[in-house]
Structure formats: structure tokens, C-alpha cells
Structure 1
Amino acid sequence: MDHPLRKKPGKFRSNILICLLFIILTASYILSPSNASAQSPPSIQAHRTSTPPKIDGNLDDPVWQQASPSEEFFQREPIEGAPASERTEVRILYDDGFLYFGFRCFDSEPQRIVANRMRRDDELEENDSVQIILDTYNDRRGGFFFSTNPLGAMWDVLLSDEGRSHNEAWDAVWQCRAARNEAGWTAEFAIPFDQLRYAESDDAVWGINIARTIPRKNEEVFLAPPPQSYGFGAQFRTSKLAELRGLGALRPRPRLEILPYLQIGSERDFEALDPTEQRKLDTGVDLKYGLTPSLTLDLSYKTDFAQVEADQEQVNLTRFSLFFPEKRGFFLEGAGIFEFGERRRGFGGPPPNLLFYSRRIGGRADILGGGKISGKMGPYTLGLITVQTGDWTYFGIQDDDASKEDATFGILRLKRDIFSKSTIGLVVADKEY
């Protein structure tokens, strides 16, 4: 009598044969020449120029003729894989300081072009628009997103987690202009290299995607269309990109930004016994320095957040704390590095489940100062933050307000890329009173 848990030899061998057959068929499909060619990404060429183009949106500067136009765009919506219904040309130039993009968007019905957004970082999906994604490490893990419409609106986003995570509070320093004409509309971009983070290379190849949206046709066309299965937000995805070639050797460029501030004011307490006017003088400085093209040092003393965009007012009728996105400049550099946990939220869903939430730093007391190092070193991604808040004494200078929380915050994030889309890493958080 057979044991109830013992498999029959014949059945076991047949299962092994089925598994081997499946593996062989899958491997032969992946390694077949036809499939390899189908998977090879399209490429687009950048051309070096000694004369920068005039960024006025008209695309009539003769220097643009140095670059050959790219016109092969394909639909993601409404008919996946179909050629674009309207012609689009894009030209790419660069010099020592900037990367330039010139768009010519032909339209058979130019009077029906939709353009009604001008506020910085307004989402432009409901306008005619063009978009650029730059994956400067060419690892399909993240990148930089830039977009404009026929009015020249500016929309930029910092992407991480293959484009699933979007940091729209990131505001780079760049230029764009656009103009409408009888044939459609044109747009020009000038993106400084020092606003991007990239690795040194003798012959740089970046990931890139270029897209155009025509809302009246519900049409989205791409240089490398993301599959419809990606769903909402596919225009941000970096998993499927084209290649940007022709940049040549990329070497370190000096990156130094110093932002000092001086605030003079006075205050008077009329309920006090002696309501004399008290004058106040506050000073501080923020410094950003590029240690390497991909590694950045941020230093801040008595950080001033007075110019930061205010949070939207919300009425909280639940027993849970409200979640507000980070908008402070000191914490925005390399913000995606410190994400650990659920990186995004669905419509109507709960807030992200993040182990590190930077908005808790400086919530109960002003930030005296802090330092941060963030960026990539080969396959490693590093993020290190240290911040001091509250009641403090340094070099004989002290803050006598005992109601403030005296605390030192320290955050370490380290990741290593493994395989094509995976990482392994750790996060260490410390708070000392």
C-alpha cells in the first residue's frame, strides 16, 4: 500500500518535464533576435552648439537647424501603438551649461488648441502640452519631468520609484517659452545641467521620453509609449524610455548656491507693564554645494521658511493627524532617497505609510541649523540628515525660550541597486533631547 504523502514516480517526472519545457520556451522567446529587436529602445540625438538659441518660444533662431528633428511619435491613447494624428517635431541642442529642447507642434485645427493654465506646477493634462522625462542615470528608477503648454506654463516634478512617486514641490531653475501660430504652436526649453544630478561619463547615454497631449482628441503620443496597463500617471513612468545620445563626455560642473536672508522688524506688547517697542534682527543662510555631479551637500543656519508655499487649509473631523507634503527647500533635495514604505496614495485612500516624515522636524520649535548629504555613488544611494532645533547654546550664544523642544534629529538612508528594478537598503532614525 502506498504511503498517502508519497508521490508516484511517473507523476513526479511528468511535472518536472512540464516545468523544463516552460523554462525552455520562455528563454527562447526572451533571447530570440526578433524579440530583442522589439525590446530595443528608440534613440534620439542631441547636438552640441557653440551659440545658445534665443528662448522666446518662436523656434525661429537659425541655430535650431543644427539639430535634426525627431518626428516618430506613437499613441498611448486612444489607440495604443497607432501613429500620432498630428505631426510633432522636437530638436535637442546642448552647450556647456544648458540642455535645449525645441518643439514644433503642428495642428490641423489650431483654433481648437486648449490653453488656460499658467500657475506654476499646475497639472497640464487638460491643456495641449508637451512633456520631457530625463533619466540621467539611465537606470529606469527615476528622473526629472518638465512640461509646458502653449502659454508657457512651467510644470516640473522629481520622479522616483520608476515614476510611481512624484515630488511636485520640487522647483528647478529653468526656462521655457511658447507661442501659437497658424500652423499650431511651438515651445522652447532651456534646462541647466546644474539643476540635474547625473554620473560622470566619457560618452553619456540618458534615458528620455518625450510626449505630447491633445486633449480635444483624448490623445497622448510618446517617443516611447508606456503601456495602457500602467493606468493613471503613466506619463511619469520611467520603466519604458528611449535613449538620449550625443551628449559626449559629462564632467563635474561647479554647483554652488548661497541664499542669505536678513529680516528686520519690531514688536510691541500693549498688555505688558512696559509696552516699549522691541526691535528684532534675524539672519540666516542656506548653502548648496555639488560634491560630485551626483552627490550634493546642503547646509542651513537658522533656516527661514517664510517664503515656502503655505499648506492648503483642511478641516480634520477624524482622530488621525493630517498628512501634508514636504515643501521646504532644505528637505526637497533628494527627498525620494529618504522614502521608506508606501510611496504613494490612491484617490480617497489613506496617506502614505512612511517611516520617515520630515514635516515632524521643526514642527514644535524653530530649526537652528542642519546639514544633509544626498545622491548616488555608483550603485549606492546615500542620504544623511542632521538637524538641531529648539533651546540651544553654542559658542556662548543661547536661546532662552524654554518652551521650545530641544532636539537633535539624525536620519541615515542607504540603498544599493540590485538586478534591474530592485534595491536593498536600510534606514536609521534617531532623535535625542
Structure 2
Amino acid sequence: MRTLALLTLPVLLAAPAVGGSDEPPITREAACRRVETPPVLDGKLDDPAWAAARADEINRFSAFWAGEGRGEGTRAWLVWDDDALYFAATMTDAELRAFGTERNDRLWLGDVFELFFKPSGDDPRYYEFQVNPRSVILELAFPRRGHPFEELAARPPMGFEAVAVVDGTLDQPGDTDRSWSVEGRIPWSLFEATGGRPAIGDSWRFALCRYDYGPEGTDPLLMSSAPLSQPSFHRYEDYGLLHFKGPND
């Protein structure tokens, strides 16, 4: 597991801020709505599933630990069905950079979109997923926080899929890029150790996170939907709540 040092690295549904008007924008609660037809994973975000989730957009991101709002230009959605949890995100990005070409590389050394889920407050197990602009993925099932990354990364594929699309030129310094988007599928079988598929009305702890790299030699911007009190995406005590909803809830 990596721990981020602030000095060395850099929904329409969102709960009201509880720390006052000066609190950076974050998402304390969000909805994951059940859909009848799953999205096609092509990175285009034009599926009926995402249209159905429009009102559940997660668009509040910040470096909460530093008191900085950074959410403009980052939007995400989560939906589910009997087979899997699906996610989509679109992110503005003037400098598209990626690191890693193989599954479970250290993708966070370049632009990356990350998802963390902790199904149980009593069970120490939690999950991390990443995808970079090359559609390379990382999937880790943590038995506990602090478990060695190398051991987890060496485990066989678990079934996570994702596709990214870039609007610009990847890894070409000096030009101005525009954005990238991603769609992904996480099968419920991957969560079997913590109970598998949730039921309508269940809630999990979750955080959506992002590394946004700029020009060479500058520190990346880190941001999360969760009100993280420390610069670590693994601080699940601070995660928001993800409520699993029916199609008409």
C-alpha cells in the first residue's frame, strides 16, 4: 500500500457540507442506482444507463486534507445490476499522461481514475480499482490496510474491466489536451469475500479519487470525492456512503 505525503506528492446528489460554507466540496453520500440494461464498455458514456443516472452525478472532489476544492471538470456515475457494479467518469485534463502498460502496474505514477469500496465497517477488507488513459487497470483486494502491494499485485486477474478514451494526444508534452473518459465493470463475484452483491437499501463506504499530472517536473494534483482528513486514499474512516438504490427510488 502506498501512503501519500502531502509535501512530496502533491450528484447532483451530495450531502450538505457539515463543516460550514468554507468546507471544500466533497461527497458525503451518493446513490448507485439499479439499471435494467448494463452499459457497453466503450468509453463513450452514451448508454441509457448513464442517462438514468444523470441525477446521481458525483461532481464534488477536493483535496479536503489541504482545504482545497479541485472538483471542477470531474464527473462520475455508478450503477448496478445482478451481475456487476458499473462506473463512468469524465475528466478535463490539459496534459494527458499515463504510466504503466501491464495490469497492476503502478498506474498512479501517471493520470489515473481510482475507486475504493469498503462493504463492511466491521471487516478490515476493502478494494481498490484503477484505470489509466491507456485502459490499463489495477485491481487489488486488500485483506487489511497495509498489506504489501507486491503480493496483492501478483494475484491472478479478478474480472475487473475498463475502457478509456482520450480527447487529445497522450504523452505528448507541449500541446494542450482536453479530457479523458472511462467506463468500467466490477463483477460482484470479486466481492465474494465480503458478501458479494448488495441488496437494495444497503450502503458501502466508498471514495472516488484522481491523480492529475501536469507538465514534467510538477507535482500531480490529488483529489477525492471523500472528505479525507489525511493525504491517503486508503483512509477508509473518512469515506462517504454509497447507497444502493432501486431503479425508481
> For the superposition of Structure 1 and Structure 2, which TM-score range results when normalised by the shorter chain?
0.7 to 0.9
- 1:191 and 2:208 aligned: no
Where does structure 2 lack aligned partners over 5 or more consecutive residues? 1-17, 20-26, 169-177
Asked if the contact 2:63–2:228 (Cα under 8 Å) also holds between the matched residues in 1, the reply is: no
SS of residue in 2 equivalent to 1:239: helix
Shift of 1:240: 1.7
Q: Percent identity?
A: 22
User: Quick one: distance in 1 between partners of 2:146 and 2:225?
Assistant: 20
The aligned counterpart of 2:171 is none
Q: Could you list the per-position Cα deviations for residues 65-91 of structure 1 after superposition, in whole angstroms to 9, with x for gaps in the alignment?
A: 111311000115xx7121116410001
Correspondence for 2:136 among 131, 153, 161? 153
User: Quick one: distance in 1 between partners of 2:71 and 2:161?
Assistant: 29
Shift of 1:237: 3.1
Q: TM-score, normalised by structure 1?
A: 0.43
Shift of 1:164: 2.2
Where does structure 1 lack aligned partners over 5 or more consecutive residues? 1-36, 249-433
- 1:204 and 2:202 aligned: yes
How does 1:113-128 map onto structure 2 within 5 Å?
113-128=96-111
Asked if the contact 1:106–1:185 (Cα under 8 Å) also holds between the matched residues in 2, the reply is: yes
Q: Higher strand share goes to which structure?
A: 1
Higher CA-based Rg: 1
User: Quick one: distance in 2 between partners of 1:240 and 1:85?
Assistant: 18
Q: TM-score, normalised by structure 2?
A: 0.73
Letter paired with 1:88: T
4+ long deviations beyond 6 Å: none
Correspondence for 1:141 among 101, 124, 134? 124
The aligned counterpart of 1:89 is 75
How does 1:26-425 map onto structure 2 within 5 Å?
37-38=18-19, 42-68=28-54, 69-75=57-63, 80-84=66-70, 86-107=72-93, 109=94, 112-139=95-122, 141-161=124-144, 163-165=145-147, 166=149, 167-170=152-155, 171-181=157-167, 183-197=178-192, 198-199=194-195, 203-216=201-214, 217-228=219-230, 234-247=232-245
User: Quick one: distance in 2 between partners of 1:66 and 1:139?
Assistant: 33
User: Quick one: distance in 2 between partners of 1:139 and 1:106?
Assistant: 37
User: Quick one: distance in 2 between partners of 1:225 and 1:214?
Assistant: 18
Count of residue correspondences: 202
Q: What is the alpha-carbon root mean square deviation over aligned residues? A: 2.5
User: Quick one: distance in 1 between partners of 2:181 and 2:102?
Assistant: 19
Shift of 1:221: 0.3
**Stretch deviating more after TM superposition (134-143 or 201-210):** 134-143
User: Quick one: distance in 2 between partners of 1:220 and 1:84?
Assistant: 8
Shift of 1:160: 3.5
Shift of 1:52: 0.9
Letter paired with 2:61: F
